[in-house]
Every structure is written in structure tokens, then in C-alpha cells.
Chains A and B, each alone.
Chain A
Amino acid sequence: MADPRSVTEGREAAQLPLSLLLALGWLVPGLGHLLLRRRLRAAVFFGVITVSFVVGIFLQGELILPQPGDPLSYVAAIAIIGNGVPFFVAKYLGLGHGVVTSAAYEFGNTFLLTAGMMNLLLLLDIHEIVRGHKEW
């Protein structure tokens, strides 16, 4: 059962509709928390996810997109696109093709997939805060 005071605080902090907060939180890691006035957490989440994404690109990881006949690629694509704007910027810049022969390829993929999953998990956290189920 949520504390009524935290429910009120969560709703007061959310001056934007939940759907918009979730969309912005997906596009820019940490932005959802920033809009909910969780500045420290927003900065940490932005830093961690951005570093993880950049390291993944640097290690020649692949920005995986759905491939017909490869069911796992659909799951991977959800995680990769979960990175939001960094994904689109990297695609626009022609990065993230993935060099399978590189020794760092799997490491790069791990960092990229992890970054996307962390960003998607933040959306659940934003939802919890707005609904007042979480106090901080």
C-alpha cells in the first residue's frame, strides 16, 4: 500500500502526462527523472547509460535490428532501440555496424544491450514514481 503523502508528491512532481514523461524518458536517458525533480538520480542514470552505450560503440558492438528468421534479433532490437536518442544518433552517424571478427564484438554488444535495458527499466521507475508507489 502506497503512502498517501508519497502519492501526492509523485503526482505533484509530474506536471506532464505520464505518457509524455515515459516517451521523454525513453528518448533521453534520465530525462524522465529530471522532469520529476530527481536531479541526482537523473544525472547518474544519464551518465551510466551514456557511458555504457559509448563504450559499446567504441568496442565495435552492433546496433542490432530485427532480422527475418532470427527471433532473438527481435528481442535484441527492443533492447537496442531502448537506448533512445543515442541509438538514432549512432545510426545517423553510421556507427554500430558491428565487426564480428573483432575480439571486442561480444563485449560491445553486451554494453549496448545492457544500456538499452537499463533505460527501459527506468521507464518502470518513472511509472512507479508518478503513481506514488515510490518515495524517492
Chain B
Amino acid sequence: MPDHLSLMTLHALLIAIYFSFLWKAGRRERWIYFCKVFGALMVGAVALGWLMYFFPRP
């Protein structure tokens, strides 16, 4: 099985492509939106992962 980060990256990639084509029309707009969504998903997931250190499993 690929590692978790690779799977998360693939998932973020698919989601970002999907929504950039669903919601944006022009090529430039799609690229900008793709970068925003992909970046938000990746950075958000890593940030949430770090935050979980403050809530260890009992």
C-alpha cells in the first residue's frame, strides 16, 4: 500500500482537478483555483495533523 501522504496527495489532486473544472471556466482561472484548492487541502491536512498532537489518544 502506498504511504498515507501519497494517498492524501492523490486525493487532494483529484478533488482539486474536479472542482477547478466544475466551478471555473477559463484556463487561467482553473489553474489558479486548482492551486488554491490543492494547497488548502494539503496544508490544512498537515496543520490538522500537527494539532492532533495536543489531543493524544487516551
Chains A and B bind each other: yes
**Interface residues, chain A, CB within 8 Å of chain B?**
40-41, 44-45, 48-49, 51-52, 55, 59, 102-104, 107, 110-111, 114, 118, 121-122, 125, 135-136
Q: Decide if A118 touches B18 in the complex (CB within 8 Å).
A: yes
A-facing residues in B1-53 (Cβ within 8 Å): 1, 4, 7, 10-11, 14-15, 17-18, 21-22, 25
20 A-B pairs with CB atoms under 8 Å apart are A41-B22, A45-B22, A48-B14, A48-B17, A48-B18, A49-B18, A52-B11, A52-B14, A59-B1, A59-B7, A102-B1, A103-B1, A107-B4, A111-B11, A114-B11, A114-B14, A114-B15, A121-B22, A122-B22, A136-B25
Closest 7 CB pairs of A and B: A136-B25, A104-B1, A48-B18, A44-B21, A107-B7, A48-B14, A52-B14
Taking a contact as CB atoms under 8 Å apart, the answer to whether B7 and A44 are in contact is no
Residues of B contacting A45 in the complex (Cβ-Cβ under 8 angstroms):
18, 21-22
B11→A110 contact, CB < 8 A: yes
Shortest CB-to-CB span from B16 to chain A, Å, is: 10
Picked from B4, B11, B21, the residue with its CB within 8 Å of the CB of A41 is B21
Chain A nearest Cβ from B58, distance in angstroms = 20
Residues of chain A within 8 A of B1, CB atoms compared: 59, 102-104
Q: Are B11 and A125 in contact (CB under 8 A)?
A: no
B residues near A107, Cβ cutoff 8 Å: 4, 7
